[in-house]
Amino acid sequence: MRHTTQPDRPGWTLVLILLASWTLRLIDLGWASLWIDEKLVEMWRHQSPADAYSSILSFGTEMPLHALLLRLVPVEDELTLRLPSALLGMLGVALVIAAARNLFHDRSLALWCGALIAANPLHVWLSRTARAYTLVFVLALFATYLFLRILAGSRSRSAWLAFTVASAAAYLAHFFCLFLPLAQAITVLRDAPRETRRRWILAQSLAALPVALWSAQIIVLNLLSDGRFLGSHGDWLRTPTLLDLPVTLANLTTGYDGRAGAWMWAPAVGAAGVGLWRGWVTATGKSPASVAARHLALLAGLPIALSFVVAQSRPIYLDRYFVVALPALVILMATGWRSLRSRLLRVTLPALVIVTGVTVIAVDLQAGAHEKVAWRQAGLYLASAVQPGDSVLLDRSVALDPFQHYFLRTTDDLALWAWSESDGAFPNPLPARLWIVYPNPHTDLHRQGALPGFDPLEPGLTPIGDWLAGQPTVSEAAAYPGVTILLIAQPGESGTAP
């Protein structure tokens, strides 16, 4: 029987996927307060190029491409700061559809992949954040697609040039993109002819030059500081356990990140597991599989597995870093469902994951759970509550910059204490009225939005918390998502706003 291909024209399904992608990423985009990482990006955007370069370099593990590109667009507020990430997120949806269609010649598979990314809670959250992650997604997907096209026979000079440029850009976007050449090296050694291997080595050597120059500066600074320059990176990350691996896979595919109400995600997590298992078996089993399928299976698992091993000695394991593997993971899962014999399962399993993802996103947006820390509310409250001569204590590393961004009042008549690990000094003697701005000290490898509440007087969480636990006159003035404001007022002083 002659096989007839499906019509190659945009349909309503594609339109609906792109419309859903647009809606989920743009609705109330400017509502949430900037969190500390976004505030850093905003500062780099408005600094001089030289100051921004030095500041980014000083972090040791930041890559400069996202901040440099952001200088090309106008930024006025939260909305315009996040808009490039949202647009890149929507571009990622379109690219994954195009890549899946061209690699596997299956329009239905491509549309499922696009719908899965459009409704992926993790990808949506990263698209609503002024960070480099959607840029990483696009560059990782584009570089991987070009690599697989080259292996399939498209080895023109322009193809190699595009691959080299895309790879160089990816490496300057996030250090986890260095997993791309590692996975490619395995595929090249296994499946590529000798001439392709030689050209791939040359292309990667050129692509690695910019990131090598950047890394050389970091290495020199670390040597000059006797290892202190990189010593504190990731100290807030805990060491992952084996139980974190399935939670990571569930978070990457369905948005489940260990929150309460696991019953809601259980069917979708099970459906995702079936797709990943079938995709892995199909790509790595005894039956012949395409080079693209085998490489995507490798890229989907390698960053997670190696990061888990490295994180046992150095903290680098964080779900949002795995956005570099997300395109491969989703395509692998979709190809796994497509290999099922039952047409009913081929439709219901991905549909279940998509519906669950949209539900999770809608619930989070409705509840405001996508806001990590309510700095706007905290700043507005304290601006109206402080009195001339009051003192304010903040943690310099996580609170000072976002607090000052939303504290719409002069600090000239206040004493501002910016506590840091290096000095460890607290006000002594205590001022008459001391306000403490205390962000949630808990961290999570998987959760992207708001974290569970905390007791600010519980000892053992942070040095500030330990110090507060020893103060007899601490009272809670206000509590907002992710941050609590406390007041220490000496006898005879008012503890309320004027």
| 247-270 CB burial, b ≥16 within 10 A, e <16 | bbbbbbbbbbbbbeeeebbebbbe
Residue 164 has pLDDT above 90, yes or no: yes
**Looking at residues 25-47, what average pLDDT do you find?**
93
Identify the burial level of 481 via C-beta atoms within 10 angstroms of its C-beta, where 0-12 means exposed, 13-18 middle and 19 or more buried.
buried
Q: Which whole-number Å values give the CA distances from 269 to 182, 275, 319, in the listed order?
A: 29, 10, 16
Q: Chain-wide mean pLDDT for the chain?
A: 88
**Looking at residues 474-491, what average pLDDT do you find?**
87
How far, in Å, CA of 125 to CA of 148, rounded?
29
Q: What would the pLDDT profile of 108-154 be if each residue is shown by its tens digit?
A: 999 999 999 999 999 999 999 999 999 999 999 999 999 999 999 88
Residue 2, pLDDT score: 42
Q: What would the pLDDT profile of 359-395 be if each residue is shown by its tens digit?
A: 889 988 888 888 889 999 999 999 999 988 898 988 8
Residue 321 has pLDDT above 70, yes or no: yes
Residue 4 has pLDDT above 70, yes or no: no
135 closest CA partner among 81, 173, 90, 168: 173
Residue 5 has pLDDT above 50, yes or no: no
Crossing angle of helices 157-171 and 179-191, rounded to 10°: 140
Residue 225, pLDDT score: 66
Strand segments, DSSP code E, in 278-402 are 391-395
Residue 86 has pLDDT above 90, yes or no: yes
**What's the angle, vertex CA 407, arms to CA 24 and CA 380, rounded to 5?**
70
Q: With beta carbons less than 8 A apart as the criterion, state whether 277 and 336 touch.
A: yes
* pLDDT > 70: percent of the chain: 91
For 5, phi and psi rounded to 5 degrees? Answer: -80, 155
How far, in Å, CA of 241 to CA of 259, rounded?
17
Residue 482 has pLDDT above 80, yes or no: yes
3 pLDDT band, cuts 50/70/90, is: very low
98 pLDDT band, cuts 50/70/90, is: very high
Residue 349, pLDDT score: 97
**Looking at residues 406-432, what average pLDDT do you find?**
81
**Looking at residues 225-249, what average pLDDT do you find?**
76
Residue 8 has pLDDT above 70, yes or no: no
Q: Which whole-number Å values give the CA distances from 272 to 322, 362, 416, in the listed order?
A: 17, 20, 50
